[in-house]
Amino acid sequence: MVVSIWRYPVKSMLGEELNSSYVTERGLIGDRAYALIDQKTGKVASAKNPKKWGKLFDFRSVFIDPPQVVENIPSVRITFPDGTHIFSDQDNIDYTLSKVLDQDVRLIRASLERPSYEEYWPDIDG
């Protein structure tokens, strides 16, 4: 039994609860369709590295229109922790996200190929 369905349009940001969704062999259409690239490393920003990217969980992303096919993913609205928002198709999106995150980032439409993620291994005594 499915109790709720959540889609996360931008990797490592909060997402949106759905009533229904199209599903492919790769999962929900539009799930993690966008990602932030760390311009210094060229890797996908991931909250799995909380020291560097933990602030991403303070942002929410939702699609402007529901995606229906993988090849035609619509733009997203990204809401900042203070409640203001920006759209993925705005000219200043990279500058604005970089400024708010205090990291040089670029928002990309995720490819269907396997991405390269930044890894973090915590120091654990013992």
| pLDDT, tens digit (0-9, with 9 covering 90-100), for 36-65 | 999 999 999 999 999 999 999 999 999 999
Classify residue 48: in a domain, yes or no. yes
Classify residue 94: in a domain, yes or no. yes
Give the number of domains in the chain.
Answer: 1
The residue among 45, 54, 51, 52 whose CA lies nearest residue 94 is 45
Classify residue 125: in a domain, yes or no. no
- Domain interval for residue 64: 5-19+29-109
CA distances, 34 to each of 3, 120, 121 (Å) = 25, 21, 24
Predicted model pTM: 0.84
CA distances, 74 to each of 2, 20, 35, 38, 103 (Å) = 26, 17, 14, 23, 25
Classify residue 114: in a domain, yes or no. no
CB 101 within 8 A of CB 95: no
pLDDT of 121 above 60: no
What's the pLDDT band for 116 if we cut at 50, 70, 90?
A: low
Classify residue 24: in a domain, yes or no. no
